């Protein structure tokens, strides 16, 4: 398990979230939505996934519990999964094949710095999700964030970074595929182009100040 992406934010106003997500948020999700400057493992987060009824917004706990785990209180809850080995690891391979999701974010943090888009738009973190079923009929939906090798922007901060899925490829990422079709998704796991992104310093007062950036 990589510990790269252990903090991120979703401070985007509701009306500025991606339209494909807004259209799938029911009244309850809209009423409960709140901008968040910090999201950490173990907390609930907003996710976009494809279930039997099609794409939908959902709330999940960050920290994946495999469906086969008997006691969720005793096993690990990985909040990251390495993209290079996700198809092989027992905790992730089922979700990799059938339960990929997207997590909207406005930035992610590393070493006191925030990495974000220069235009301040939100973006998609690539994730996997699972549904754990208890013997008493209880259900818990959990997720993890995929990580990959860093690009030139993130490399000075860490040896890993989250996988980011480009806009317009939401359905392709979440669609159920089998066997060799999974290979078509592998290019999305590669380091993303840092053009149009920047690194900013998170000061003690919680404000962000510009450190560096790579523009297109």
Select which of 101, 107, 110, 198 is catalytic: 110
pLDDT digits (tens, 9 = 90+) for 165-201: 999 999 999 988 877 888 899 999 999 999 999 999 8
Q: What are phi and psi of 19, to 5 degrees?
A: -60, -35
**Is the separation of the CB atoms in 196 and 27 below 8 Å?**
no
Q: Give the pLDDT confidence score for residue 140 in this predicted structure.
A: 92
- Of residues 181 and 164, more confidently modeled: 164
Q: Give the pLDDT confidence score for residue 214 in this predicted structure.
A: 33
**Is the separation of the CB atoms in 192 and 86 below 8 Å?**
no
**Among 62-76, 114-128, 201-215, the least confident range:** 201-215
Residues near 150 by beta carbon (within 8 Å), at least 6 away in sequence: 157, 158, 159, 160, 161, 191
**Is the separation of the CB atoms in 185 and 177 below 8 Å?**
yes
Q: pTM for this structure?
A: 0.90
Q: Give the pLDDT confidence score for residue 203 in this predicted structure.
A: 53
pLDDT digits (tens, 9 = 90+) for 192-205: 999 999 999 875 44
Report all structural domains of the chain as residue ranges with CATH numbers, in order of start.
Answer: 8-184 (3.90.1680.10)
73 vs 60, 62, 146, 154, CA distance in Å?
17, 14, 23, 34
Q: Give the pLDDT confidence score for residue 135 in this predicted structure.
A: 76
**Is the separation of the CB atoms in 46 and 29 below 8 Å?**
yes
pLDDT digits (tens, 9 = 90+) for 23-42: 999 999 999 999 999 999 99
The confidence band for 207, taking pLDDT boundaries of 50, 70 and 90, is very low
| Residue 1: pLDDT over 60 | no
The CA radius of gyration of the chain, in Å to the nearest whole number, is 17
- Integer Cα distance of 88 and 72 in angstroms: 21
Give one DSSP letter per residue of 73-89, joined into a string.
Answer: TTS---SEEETTTTTT-
101 part of the active site = no
38 vs 34, 62, 88, 210, CA distance in Å?
11, 13, 31, 19
Query: How many other CB atoms are found less than 10 A from the CB of residue 24?
Result: 17
């Amino acid at each position: 398990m990589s510990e790269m992406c252990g903090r991120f934010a979703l401070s985007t106003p509701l009306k500025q979230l991606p339209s494909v997500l807004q259209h799938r948020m029911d009244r309850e999700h809209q009423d409960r939505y709140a901008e968040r400057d910090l999201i950490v493992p173990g907390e609930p987060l907003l996710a976009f996934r494809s279930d039997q009824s099609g794409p939908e917004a959902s709330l999940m706990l960050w920290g994946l519990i495999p469906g086969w785990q008997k006691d969720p209180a005793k096993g690990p809850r990985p909040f990251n999964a390495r993209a290079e080995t996700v198809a092989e690891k027992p905790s992730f391979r089922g979700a990799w094949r059938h339960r990929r999701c997207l997590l909207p974010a406005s930035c992610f943090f590393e070493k006191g710095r925030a990495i974000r888009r220069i235009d301040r738009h939100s973006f998609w973190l690539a994730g996997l999700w699972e549904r754990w079923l208890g013997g008493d009929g209880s259900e818990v939906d959990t997720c993890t964030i995929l990580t990959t090798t860093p690009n030139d922007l993130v490399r000075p901060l860490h040896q890993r970074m989250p996988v980011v899925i480009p806009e317009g490829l939401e359905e392709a990422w979440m669609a159920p595929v089998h066997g060799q079709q999974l290979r078509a998704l592998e290019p999305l796991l590669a380091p993303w182009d840092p053009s149009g992104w920047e690194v900013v310093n998170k000061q003690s007062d919680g404000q962000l100040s510009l450190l560096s950036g790579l523009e297109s």
